[in-house]
Structure 1
Amino acid sequence: MDDSQAQAAQVAPADSLTPADRYAELFVDVQCGRVFDDSKTFVDCIPRQEPDAILSAYRARKDDPRFDLTAFVLDHFTPECEPVSNYVSPPQQGLITHIDGLWDVLTRRPQQHPRYSSLLPLPYAYVVPGGRFRELYYWDSYFTMLGLAESGRPHLMRTMARNFAYLIDTYGHVPNGNRTYYLSRSQPPVFALMVDLFTRYGVITRARSYLPQLRKEHAYWMSGAETLQRGEAHRCCVRLNDGTLLNRYWDERDTPREEAYLEDILTGQQSTRPAREVYRDLRAGAASGWDFSSRWLDDPHQLASIRTTALLPVDLNSFMLKLETQIASLSAMSGDIETAKAFQRKAEERSQAIRRLFWNERVGAFFDFDWQRDRLCTMLNAATVTPLYVGLADREQAQRVAQAVRQRLLSAGGIATTEIGTEQQWDHPNGWAPLQWMAIRGFKRYGETSLAQDISDRWLTMVGRLFERKSKLIEKYVLTPLQAGAAGGGGGEYPLQDGFGWTNGVTRKLLRDNPQHPSNQSRSASP
């Protein structure tokens, strides 16, 4: 048994109770009483003693007129120590050197999993995004790994690969993140894309060794599909009136998100719908990774109008297509021809459905589909590039998507998330690294190299300019004219975060692909 196997054997089965499950009315009182400014702080706290003893002590003392809730919490819990979020390079350090050095800052190890916290133990080292995000996140990690590969960190890619396999084997899916309060949902299913990455960089010797996990993940997303009648939905699956089977985002719970408890309660109070419907759609929006965006809203300026579960997202179904084709391919390599044929049929049916239902011929772009209202959505957003990224589109469609993106989404700093400016962070004018990467690679795949290069150049210029001013990389950027100076993105439920995993990963990869770009020479600010 090697060191990594021995390390894996030491991981104890996780207690899957969430903070709300565990602390009952204490949890509600802390979150609604705003003991901490950030709702995520309490759910990440480490208890100083047995949780049952803490809850008993609270129940015994809470009615005392002199009781101080904040003092009680600080006596019984230790807030997780947030790494210094404003990690700054030494003066005149190069951008590439900064990214390469930041991986150590963002790496977490199994011994750092405290007992009775909400953190789900993992057997191997992993990389977190940074700032308030101190745990492993699913789709973030794929884009982070692009940079790990270029920074010469195959060992971290290998340990993260094993962690994702462990999560699927243990829980049946990859949770949104390795926290108990994330177990009820997943995120965009990109494990199939990870397997390609692992193979390309020699991280694994046989891709088909991950076939069992790929099939388990597919089973999670397709649970209940076999018995669905036309016009019905169950969990992540929807069967349309014509019999077409597709996927949506979903969360098993219909309560306020524990990491945003008070925020969700206040949002639910602004809606005329039952609050539990709003909570479910907020949770499903978090599962999408686009939390939040006018993409999911009936009224772009009212979060309470969110309808995530009513929509069939074009990017989710594109990722599911990749998962099905990956299973078909690896099954064929393994000699399981029957399974290979079955999944190839699934992939062909999904591919035809995406082309038929998600394509707007008049606009020349892919859109989400509103299955409850039986109509195509009309909001153009950056997810339109995902069918290109997975190779689903035909040549003419790719050309037309390129034209639409060039005319409507291309901004000074890269591809915009949406055309609509709102208070949500996944909207104009913010730009996000994963969307840049999928656009660049999708357009390159179909020969739209000038647009791909333009997006890459704009993104690198913006990231490089902010690094020269602030000596750091960040979660999201404002894609404003660069003459005004690159700036961090705004909106959303929490302050802008430094770090930042997927920005580092995508930027590091693009710098490697574009060695002549001036940002390769960017230096951190002088004191």
Structure 2
Amino acid sequence: MTDIAPAFELAGMADSLTPAERYEELFVAVQMQRVFVDSKTFVDCVPCREPQAILDDYRAQRDAADFDLGEFVHANFSPYELPPKAFVANPDDSLAAHIDRLWPILTRQPREHPPFSSLLPLPHPYVVPGGRFTELYYWDSYFAMLGLDESGHCELLRSMADNFAYLIDTYGHVPNGNRSYYLGRSQPPVFALMTELFEQTGVHPATDYLPQLRKEYAFWMDGGAELRPGEAHRRCVRLADGCLLNRYWDERDTPREEAYREDVETARHSSRPAHEVYRHLRAAAESGWDFSSRWLDDPCRLASIRTTCILPVDLNALLYHLERQIARLCAVEGLRRDAGQFHDYAERRRTAMQRHMWNDVGGAYFDYDWAIQRQRDNLTAATLMPLFVQLADSRQAARVAEVVRTRLLAPGGLSTTEVYGSGEQWDCPNGWAPLQWIGIRGLQHYGHQTLALEIERRWLEIVSYLFERENKLVEKYVLRPCTEAASGGEYQRQDGFGWTNGVTRKLMQEDPGHQANRCRAGRCRPD
């Protein structure tokens, strides 16, 4: 790997205290009294002076009759601001050129880490999604990397590769994002996918990252070996038949700091203890699908969330891939015993998934509710992840392809779920770039090229439609050609947008005849 910044430099900048830990009752007051409309704004603020002095002054002043919390906060904190880089869509730019021009705007430098903020320093440049997301995100980054490769940013790929290795070496896992308040959780484990991309593009041999792959695996499997049937610990669950599978989790059972008020309000609508609801909300945030009816007992009530009771298809498929990748790289390094051990882990997981997650009647993979010992019945796009990592057999792949064609294919691409009206952003009618890529590649692995190309065609059509209409790419899309903006969830649709740029850029290169390669910003203006 390339040299990492001197340890003493990063050590002087690193600070794992979260805003809630640092500002205590001031933090609670700011979030609950809604000083900022978006709860994420305050946790990303930079203090104007030493934090303890701010907290001391708050405690000394808060009981005064004329004390104004909003004025105090704005006098002592600066909302995180993006570097002043103006970006205006050029009507002469193709969609590919527009994406290529966006990468520098979305790139952050190691020195852009203000002291006492929640931002965790990284040794090398990295790409952020855009909009309110001003930090690196774990699984987002893999999909952005697909486009960085097509745009010729090999050096940036190399930098991001070493950033992820640094995060694993430093924290034992890749956090949800490089913010202190994200340290309690990770995201879908895609570092193994990244190492394959690094090798394919000549950035680094995948074997360079074998130690980090093994460390990440240990994070996900912590405590699993000691579990007895029916027991769970952190991210591991031992089922009654002895199978070991994984779930999403978070080390904390408090409201998410970036959504503190929202989580408190959600817990108030549940009859369960608040800390249980908080854990489920945090675990869903680790899944990346925050939020979806997939995690709910009642698809229209977020307070019914039960994420840690659910063994997800896609998480376990990615861990199967991680086990296979470690086995392969151990064999390359001559570690035959370790290679055999990880091969066995992968085969055991595959057997467990086939037993508990494959539904032969429904012709698809479904999440498994280990708390009540039965499959969930809500079909989601996660059913394609076993095809993406080539875990399914050809008969299962054909069944999944037919189910996807008849039940999840929408005018704009691959639907996330079949549930409308939940109010959650990872449900219909929204579509997301990473799920399009997973579905397309998964189907292609098993020769279902026609359906894969149809999803690709429809997705590029919806992205290029909005690009011509609004001169931008966005985080999520309504999967039909209309003027309606994607909605749902805890925040407004975000512009940018890293993983949409990456997946779209990659798909355009693979389908040069698609009209998306000929569209231009500003061709169509809203009425």
Q: TM-score range by the shorter chain?
A: over 0.9
Instruction: Give yes or no for contact 2:127–2:141 (8 Å, CA) kept in 1.
Output: yes
Deviations 1:458-488 (A, max 9, x none): 00011011101111000000012x2x35x43
Cα distance between partner residues in 1 of 2:485 and 2:230: 43
Residue 508 (structure 2) pairs with residue 511 (structure 1): yes
Q: Which amino acid aligns with 1:39?
A: S
Q: Give the CA deviation at 1:87.
A: 4.8
Partner of 2:144: 144
What is the letter of the counterpart of residue 441 of structure 1? R
Extract unaligned runs of 5+ from structure 1.
Answer: none
Work out the CA distance in 1 between the residues paired with 2:82 and 2:132. Answer: 7
For residues 216-231 of structure 1, what are the structure 2 equivalents within 5 Å?
216-231=215-230
Partner of 2:249: 250
2:527 aligned with 1:524:
no
- Identify the residue that residue 382 of structure 2 maps to in structure 1: 383
Which amino acid is the alignment partner of residue 59 of structure 2? R
In structure 1, the partner of 2:497 is: 500
- The residue that corresponds to 1:340 in the other structure is 339
Other-structure match for 2:169: 169
Equivalent residue for 1:212? Answer: 211
CA contact (8 A) 1:172 1:217 kept: yes
Query: What amino acid is aligned across from residue 490 of structure 2 in structure 1?
Result: E
Query: Secondary structure at 1:246's aligned position in 2?
Result: strand
Q: Partner letter of residue 323 of structure 2?
A: E
1:184-227 superposed Cα distances (whole Å, 9 cap, x missing partner):
000000000000000001111x2111000000000000001121
Q: How does 1:428-507 map to 2 (within 5 A)?
A: 428-480=428-480, 482=481, 484-485=482-483, 487-507=484-504
**1:356 corresponding residue in structure 2:** 355
- Structure 2 equivalent of residue 371 of structure 1: 370
**RMSD (Å) for aligned C-alpha atoms:** 1.5
**In structure 1, the residue corresponding to 2:245 is in which secondary structure?**
strand
Alignment of 1:17-96 (within 5 A): 17-82=17-82, 87-96=87-96
Contact preservation (8 Å) 1:8, 1:124 = no
Q: Answer whether contact 2:39 2:258 (CA < 8 A) is retained.
A: yes
Separation in 2, partners of 1:519, 1:6 = 41
* 1:119-198 alignment runs, 5 A limit: 119-198=119-198
Paired residue for 1:315? 314
1:493–1:83 Cα change, 3 Å: farther
Contact kept? 2:187, 2:286, Cα under 8 Å: yes
For residues 396-420 of structure 1, the C-alpha deviation after alignment (integer angstroms, 9 at most, x for no partner) is 1000100000000000000000000
Provide the C-alpha distance between the structure 1 equivalents of 2:385 and 2:86, rounded to a whole number of angstroms: 32
Distance in 1 (CA, whole Å) between partners of 2:261 and 2:87 is 30
- Alpha-carbon distance in structure 1 between the residues aligned to 2:34 and 2:412: 37
What CA distance in whole angstroms lies between the structure 2 residues aligned with 1:84 and 1:354?
A: 49
Alignment TM-score, normalising by the size of structure 2: 0.97
Runs (4+) off by over 6 Å: 83-86
Equivalent-residue separation in structure 2 for 1:86 and 1:251 (angstroms): 37
State the Cα distance separating 1:355 from its structure 2 match. 1.1
SS in 1 for 2:262: helix
* Kept after mapping to 2: 8 A contact 1:82/1:131: no
Q: After superposition, what is the alpha-carbon deviation per residue over 1:138-179, rounded to whole angstroms, capped at 9, x for unaligned? A: 000000000000000011110000000000000000000000
Deviations 1:113-141 (A, max 9, x none): 01000000000000000000000000000
AA in 1 matched with 2:289:
W
Q: Contact between 1:128 and 1:135, CA under 8 Å: does it hold in 2?
A: yes
**In structure 2, what is the Cα distance between the partners aligned to 1:367 and 1:84?**
46
Compute the displacement of 1:489 (Å): 1.2
TM-score (norm 1): 0.97
| Residue aligned with 1:27, SS | helix
Deviation at 1:9, TM superposition (A): 6.1
Instruction: Report the Cα distance in structure 2 between the residues aligned to 1:457 and 1:145, rounded to whole angstroms.
Output: 21
The 3-state SS of whatever aligns with 2:133 is: coil
- Cα distance in 2 for partners of 1:457, 1:7 equals 47
**For the residues of structure 2 that align with 1:448 and 1:456, how far apart are their CA atoms?**
13
Q: Which residue of 2 aligns with 1:296?
A: 295
AA matched with 2:517: N
Single out whichever of 87-96 and 6-15 deviates more from structure 2: 6-15
Corresponding position: 1:241 with 2:269: no
1-side partners of 2:5 and 2:162: how far apart?
A: 13
1-structure distance, mates of 2:507, 2:19: 40
- Do 2:5 and 2:123's aligned partners in 1 also have CA atoms closer than 8 Å? no
CA contact (8 A) 2:23 2:55 kept: yes
**CA apart distance, 1:91:** 2.0
Give 2:508's aligned amino acid.
L
* One-letter amino acid of the counterpart of residue 272, structure 2: R
Q: Report the count of equivalent residues.
A: 522
TM-aligned CA distance change 1:84 to 1:513, over 3 Å: farther
SS of alignment partner, residue 11 of structure 2:
coil
Structure 2 partner of 1:417: 416
Distance 1:236 1:84, change over 3 A: farther
Flag structure 2 segments of 5+ consecutive residues without an equivalent. Answer: none
**Residue type of the alignment partner of 1:133:** F
| One-letter code aligned to 2:441 | R
Distance 1:157 1:6 in 2: 17
Alignment partners' CA distance in 1, 2:83 and 2:357? 42
Q: Bigger shift: 4-13 or 65-74?
A: 4-13
Per-residue deviation, 1:88: 4.0
Judge which range, 77-86 or 192-201, deviates more. 77-86
Structure 1 residues 87 and 372: alpha-carbon distance in aligned structure 2, compared to 1, 3 A threshold: farther
Distance 2:351 2:184 in 1: 30
Report the alpha carbon displacement of residue 82 of structure 1 after superposing the two structures with TM.
Answer: 4.3
Alpha-carbon separation, structure 2, partners of 1:227 and 1:398: 34
Cα distance in 2 for partners of 1:228, 1:425 equals 35
Name the % identity: 61
